[in-house]
Structure 1
Amino acid sequence: MHLELTTIIVDEYDPAIEFFTEVLGFELTEDSPAVSTHHGTPKRWVVVRPPGARTGILLARADGERQAAAVGDQLAGRVGFFLRVDDFDAHYQRMRDAGVRFVGEPRAEPYGRVVVFLDIAGNRWDLLGGL
């Protein structure tokens, strides 16, 4: 058993794909047309994954007012996603250079180095690395 996917609601597909692939270094593993949304607009099945990972993220374009209101606040302001990287400094610098918004500065914790960043939708993530 394994967790296949989790969903992040986004405003638009293509900017979200660009953020996850070009800024975070994920792989686009699927981008297929899907059945129309409840409101009749076209939708896509878009999955991104960290290189070599089994678990992916389904990027779901908001459909309707309720989902649009959840963009960037899916976890009520808490950190809800955790990205562990081998080279914290290099990944942090690459993300800073790409304009990623960070909440605070990197700090050392018993489990490694950590800094909170916001994804393209505004959700909070921990960027984690070794000490």
Structure 2
Amino acid sequence: MRIHLTSVFVDDQDKALRFYTEVLGFVKKAEVPLGADRWLTVVSPEDPDGTELLLEPDGHPAAKPYKTALFEDGIPAASFAVDDVPAESDRLRGLGVRFAQEPRRTGPVTTAILDDTCGNLIQIVHSDE
């Protein structure tokens, strides 16, 4: 068994697609119209057949309070692996990304937390192990 798909709730699919592709560097995998919304996924260009991230509309009544609670408590909605957290943080900051947590080393793990502009905090992480 392996993870095929995971999702983040977003407040605007177009804005999310721009952020996740143009800023974070993912590539669009699927876009299927579903009424007013779309089945919209992105993948890592390093693993185009790997786990897809669904940019899921937050229209369900439970989604917005859930997102708000996580955001206000500083809890990331997702975590993405990078090779060098400080370098990636610098690159993203240069593109205007706001960080809720600057790079922080805890044992063998370095993390930072960014705002995806769509209502979520996203963690980037690198582990020495």
TM-score for the superposition, normalised by structure 1: 0.79
> Which runs of structure 2 are paired with 1:10-29 in the superposition (5 Å)?
10-29=10-29
1:63 to 54, 59, 82: 59
Is the 8 Å Cα contact of residues 88 and 130 (structure 1) preserved in structure 2?
A: no
Q: Give the match for residue 111 of structure 2.
A: 114
> Which runs of structure 2 are paired with 1:10-49 in the superposition (5 Å)?
10-34=10-34, 36=35, 42-49=36-43
Say yes or no: does 1:105 pair with 2:102: yes
Deviations 1:59-100 (A, max 9, x none): 112225443444454577323421111133331111111222
In structure 2, distance between residues paired with 1:72 and 1:23: 23
| Sequence identity percentage | 30
What is the Cα deviation at residue 130 of structure 1?
4.8
Amino acid at match of 1:82: S
Which 4+ stretches in 1 moved above 6 angstroms? none
TM-score for the superposition, normalised by structure 2: 0.80
Larger mean CA deviation between 115-124 and 45-54 belongs to 115-124
Larger mean CA deviation between 50-59 and 8-17 belongs to 50-59
Is the 8 Å Cα contact of residues 20 and 26 (structure 2) preserved in structure 1?
A: yes
